[in-house]
Structure 1
Amino acid sequence: MDRKASLVAAAKAVLYGSLVGAAIPTAITTIVATGMAADGFEDGGVIVLLVVTPALICLAAGLGGFIFLGLPFTLLLRRLELETGANYGVGGAAVGAGALMLGSWLVDADMFGALLFSFFGIVTGGAIGYFWWRFGRRPVVEATSAETAEVFL
């Protein structure tokens, strides 16, 4: 897989995974924003910002986590020859939960807030890990195993 295809696969993984992780908070903020609009709140910019903020936060956290934690994890799995969809999904979920739990602890959040953030870290990280496997790593691994099988036939 060339560099451009890898970048496209990474962008897809981060975008799709972030959208999966942001679905629940965005639905909640949409309900709140709809209630605010129904009560006569007239500042449309605040309402739009309220709805889009969870998606932007998940996208930023997902991109940072993918670059600083996901790519080294990919290198580790590749070196150990353990690249599977399950390993990427579970690894992404663990990294997402751990990173957001650590971040919550560093800003001195209460336990409920830390667990809530880590839940969204699990969902977002697991989805990004799976999509990275699906779009970026599976084609490489399957092409490599097909070439290896041809050598031994």
Structure 2
Amino acid sequence: MPLPGIASTEDVLTMTLPDAVVGMTMDELEALPVTEFETSTIWTEGPQVFRGVRMVDLLAHFGIESGTLKLTAANDYSIDVPVDSFTDDGAILAYQRNGQTMTLRTKGPLWVVYPYDSSPKFQSEVIYSNSIWQLDRMSATE
């Protein structure tokens, strides 16, 4: 389902790779393997259901195996995350929360979310800092 005001053919994520810049539409993100989980967050009230693509699957899609990933939000806030910190049981790039696409007002269009309730390892300041919302750009460095 496209975001309000954003056609499904418009890029919601720009990925800068060492040799190319690739835009991804919501349809293209939704075509990748889907993961969904329920968790509470420190930014929302009550359990939330997040749906998206595992970060490890997104990185594999682009052939990114090492280095650092710079994640940047619509307001230019950015963080650097080691690629090897993403795990199969960890972060997803969420494009839905509680069955709804996310707008800028609701922390979208994309939000890096961890299954915080599943393990104490996802309840640290580092993990909370990595949980960037309003994400619209990623840049891979070796």
Give the TM-score normalised by structure 1: 0.30
Structure with the larger helix share = 1
Structure with the larger strand share = 2
Give the TM-score normalised by structure 2: 0.32
Q: Which has the higher contact order (CA 8 A, sep 6+)?
A: 1
